[in-house]
Chain A
Amino acid sequence: MSHRLLLATFEHEDDLIGATTAARRTGLRIVDVFTPYAVHGLERAMGLRPSRLTWVCFVCGMTGALGMLWFEHWTASISWPVNVGGKPWNSLPSDIPVAFEAAVLLAGFGSVFALFGVSRLFPGKTARTVAPRTTDDRFVLVIDETDAAFDADRVREMLEGFDVVETEERVITDRTWFRQRRLSS
């Protein structure tokens, strides 16, 4: 199945956010937005649901902390009790620093690898950009033209209002374009 897409290019992030908000309000389907850097507020304009990455981070961190606490307890007071300065076998304060480090380590690695997994990033992956200048100084909003709400004249008029510098129609057959957008209603 192929999709006809409209690529609208902007020079300023304010215009991009304005156009994205307007497109969403008029019921258009936003396929994706390409920017050279993280634009704050864009996820709200696109209507993206909050990232689930924070939960991955939290669960990994808790796993690291609790797992390491249990492991330290098991090694130092069950499997092979070691007398350190006459302290009790199960001395909680001495376990905290390592548990804290394990929490940080697992939360960090867990978040990064979960991000790589979800966005299908890996070393040596070929970059897929709609336009090379989105890596430099241009912002591109991609709208689905096949969508029922799409009315070419009205969309063009709306985009003109936000100083669009260039529009381009493109037919896309690659379905991965549509895979990762978690748009809320």
Chain B
Amino acid sequence: MTAAPHAVLSSITRKAAATAVISALLLAACAVAVPGRVWSNLLLAAYYLITVGTGAAVFLALTNVCGAGWNAAFRRVPEAMTGVLPSAGIVLLAVLAARLPEYAWHHHGEHGPGTFWFKEMWLSPPFFAARAVGIVLLWTVFARTLVRNSQRQDTRPEPSGRPVNTAVSAVFLAVFAMTISAAGVDWIMALEPMWFSTIWGVYQFSGLITAALAVMIIACIVLRQRGPLRGVFRDDHLHDLGRLLIGFSCFWMYIWFSQYMLIWYSNIPEETAYFIRRTHGPWGPIVLSSIVLNWLVPFFVLLPRSCKRSERVMLKVAVVVLLGRWVDLYVMIFPPVVGDMPVFGIPEAATILCAGSLSVLLFLRAFLSSETVPRNDPYLSESLQYHA
């Protein structure tokens, strides 16, 4: 069963491999010329990919604890999306390790302005590094467990995987809720250690799940066009993924605005510093474009039912959302690193191409390593006959 789709997808694999090699060489050249920019690009790419992979695991866990059956037909897609986790996690840890002594908070610790014992303890390099390793390990191990239990059903006919996975999912969701907050605060918010936002964890989650859904939509559509999911992934599944995408896109906007409005309203200098830097000058239009890409476009385009059931429209909207996720992270990460002038050039393009093509390779390898449809899943027939 795995041989046939392999042939159909091999052209994608070849192109992705070629792109990965060329862009990696380009990126290596950039790393010599502009190491600072390459570092922030790699942080963005690694965080992007690890959150997409973890977002897929969160989707699996959410549907498991809900007892959902509609997604069984294309469940191998989110499962394969978690294949990016160990690699993205390793890159992320390397990126953090490379700059650990230089993270801005390190220099104004030791009773500097705005620090107190908890912050000093929390941002001390050993604890910071231990947390990063722990978070990456937890996400990878939980995602692996969910996928392994599900794929074990392929060889064992009895439906034993689901109850075990439901329990694992419940634990994972609780662990994830805490670790995503810690991860967002550690890896992104700590770039500006004097600034803080208590909604940051929810904000990170909203972007994570929206991007994961967009990747899932693109992967399902491409795999249906190319064969493996033909006759399996139906318009009704696409319709429901579209509903989730428009819903979580609104959720992202809600959380984004909640953070912005409270800071704007209270107008406390230590809080407003973040937005003053990002809404004045050339960063302003980029913040606006992030809102357009992440909310305005998906919201108005996906409102009609026919658009949510259209491959063509959904593919475009999902690409727009993925672009929006990049701009969103760009606005979070780049201002403290590159300053008041936004940059986009060869390092950014090379990183996007390299990370994108590598994740396509990792996804396809994971997808083709198992049955493309969970044929012993007790919910499969329900999913195949599903009406949205």
A-side interface residues toward B, CB under 8 Å? 40-41, 44, 50, 54, 58, 85, 93-94, 96-97
Q: Which residue of A lies closest to B386 (CB)?
A: A40
Q: Is the CB of B265 within 8 A of A93?
A: yes
Residues in chain A near residue B304, CB distance under 8 A: 54
Q: Is the CB of A50 within 8 A of B265?
A: no
Residues in chain B near residue A85, CB distance under 8 A: 265, 267
B-side interface residues toward A, CB under 8 Å? 257, 260-261, 264-265, 267, 303-305, 386-388
Q: Is the CB of B388 within 8 A of A40?
A: yes
Q: Is the CB of A40 within 8 A of B387?
A: yes
Q: Is the CB of B264 within 8 A of A93?
A: yes
What's the least CB distance linking B332 to chain A, in Å? 20
Top 3 A-B residue pairs of the complex, sorted by shortest distance between their CB atoms: A41-B387, A40-B387, A93-B261
Total cross-chain contacts (CB, 8 A): 22
What is the CA–CA distance of A41 and B303 in the complex, to the nearest angstrom?
A: 20
Residues in chain A near residue B265, CB distance under 8 A: 85, 93-94
Residues in chain B near residue A96, CB distance under 8 A: 257, 261
Residues in chain A near residue B303, CB distance under 8 A: 54, 58
Q: Which residue of B lies closest to A42 (CB)?
A: B387
Q: Which residue of B lies closest to A39 (CB)?
A: B387
What is the CA–CA distance of A50 and B267 in the complex, to the nearest angstrom?
A: 48
What's the least CB distance linking B239 to chain A, in Å? 11
Residues in chain A near residue B305, CB distance under 8 A: 50, 54
Residues in chain B near residue A97, CB distance under 8 A: 261
What's the least CB distance linking B223 to chain A, in Å? 24
Residues in chain B near residue A94, CB distance under 8 A: 261, 265
What is the CA–CA distance of A96 and B264 in the complex, to the nearest angstrom?
A: 13
Q: Which residue of B lies closest to A61 (CB)?
A: B303
What's the least CB distance linking A83 to chain B, in Å? 14
What is the CA–CA distance of A94 and B260 in the complex, to the nearest angstrom?
A: 11
What's the least CB distance linking A36 to chain B, in Å? 17
Instruction: Please list 5 pairs of residues, one from A and one from B, whose beta carbons are closer than 8 Å in the complex, sorted by A's number.
Output: A40-B386, A50-B305, A93-B261, A93-B264, A97-B261
What is the CA–CA distance of A50 and B239 in the complex, to the nearest angstrom?
A: 15
What's the least CB distance linking B274 to chain A, in Å? 15
Q: Which residue of B lies closest to A14 (CB)?
A: B385
What is the CA–CA distance of A54 and B304 in the complex, to the nearest angstrom?
A: 8
What is the CA–CA distance of A41 and B264 in the complex, to the nearest angstrom?
A: 47
Residues in chain B near residue A58, CB distance under 8 A: 303
What is the CA–CA distance of A41 and B386 in the complex, to the nearest angstrom?
A: 9
Residues in chain A near residue B260, CB distance under 8 A: 93
What is the CA–CA distance of A36 and B265 in the complex, to the nearest angstrom?
A: 51
What's the least CB distance linking A81 to chain B, in Å? 18
With A40-B387, A41-B387, A93-B260 given, name 14 new contacts (CB 8 A). Answer: A40-B386, A44-B387, A50-B305, A54-B303, A54-B304, A58-B303, A85-B265, A85-B267, A93-B257, A93-B261, A93-B264, A93-B265, A94-B261, A96-B257
What's the least CB distance linking A38 to chain B, in Å? 10
What is the CA–CA distance of A67 and B387 in the complex, to the nearest angstrom?
A: 37
What is the CA–CA distance of A58 and B264 in the complex, to the nearest angstrom?
A: 29
What is the CA–CA distance of A44 and B260 in the complex, to the nearest angstrom?
A: 44
Residues in chain B near residue A54, CB distance under 8 A: 303-305
What's the least CB distance linking A53 to chain B, in Å? 11
